[in-house]
Structure 1
Amino acid sequence: MNLAAQVVDRLAQSKCRVVFAESCTCGMVACELGKVPGVSQWLCGSAVTYRNDTKTRWLDVDADTIAQQTAVCEVVAKQMAQGVLTKTPEADLAVSITGHFGPAAPAGFDGVVLIAAARRQSSGPFDVSVSRQQLTAKGRADRQVEATERVFQWVLRNL
């Protein structure tokens, strides 16, 4: 069973509806899940927010934070997950991904992705976690595939 099918199976087992906020993966996470029969009961959607202005307008990510820290930082990853969960009331879990695939990434950020998750709580604010990961693939297309797999692995470990 491939990773996307495993994720859909785990979502069904846990009766968890998920929504994504994707930057560097450009919708590949949702696209791969969409290939699995039965996913429509568990996948609420995905906001592809590649550009910074889209992150601020669609997900309420703070523009000042992006200006000061770039879009590839823990705060932005968390705000992306919180924003898409806020705007998707039927979802139980939101997962976001942002990162640099190169070739012109700032020093120390080439191949870095941040995956954040926000879970709806019965009362109070969302429970939010973030993971910084270094991709091993070279080249944008291969990194996009690896980043998508990393999101699936995160979901499988944390559901």
Structure 2
Amino acid sequence: MTLAADVVARLAETKCRVVFAESCTCGMVACELGKIAGVSQWLCGSAVTYRDATKTQWLDVDADTIQTRTAVCDTVAHQMATGALGRTPESDLAVAITGHLGPDAPQGYDGLVFIGFARRKHDGAVHCEVHSHTLKRRGRGPRQVEATELVFQTLLASL
């Protein structure tokens, strides 16, 4: 993925360190970045929180929110991003993704992903925004690739 190389170059250019919280991409974001030499200066890590209990235990995502709204929602993406950033003091920003890649997605959720982007400001405050996307590709593998590309595009646009 040339997007991964673009991300690493932009991280180096802006001197930003990033941490990820991945659900539906199941580590593909970190894997693709890990293929780029020099990324260790900028990639703090990635928490693959595929299951709901892991999201709550590792990232402090609210279990009640997951129960009432599911893990595929803007609030969970927000909490994943801020949770990852809060647990990684050396990181300047965090990007989280949660979604439903199918098959057997509930009505209205097939291919729906939420990407949360949290940035630590100079005064210590955290700003977070969340974007939703409906994936166009079919099948889990192609959708994971598309979701990973969306994470990279979101990160590039935010740096």
Taking structure 2 as the reference length, the TM-score comes to 0.98
Q: Deviations over 1:69-114 (max 9, x none)?
A: 0000000000000000000000000000000001111111100110
- Measure how far apart 1:124 and its partner are: 5.0
Counterparts of 2:4 and 2:30, CA distance in 1: 9
Q: Which amino acid aligns with 1:103?
A: P
**Identity of matched residues, %:** 67
Q: Deviations over 1:104-152 (max 9, x none)?
A: 1111110011000110012253100000001000000100000000000
Q: Secondary structure at the match of 1:106?
A: coil
Q: Secondary structure at the match of 2:96?
A: strand
The alignment's C-alpha RMSD in Å is: 0.9
**117-126 or 105-114, larger mean C-alpha shift:** 117-126
Task: Give the equivalent residue in structure 1 for 2:30.
Answer: 30
Counterparts of 2:117 and 2:100, CA distance in 1: 19
* 1:102 and 2:102 aligned: yes
Q: Give the gaps of 5 or more residues in structure 1.
A: none
Task: Give the equivalent residue in structure 1 for 2:52.
Answer: 52
Q: Secondary structure at the match of 1:129?
A: strand
Q: Give the gaps of 5 or more residues in structure 2.
A: none
Q: Which amino acid aligns with 1:83?
A: G
Counterparts of 1:123 and 1:4, CA distance in 2: 30
Q: Secondary structure at the match of 2:24?
A: coil
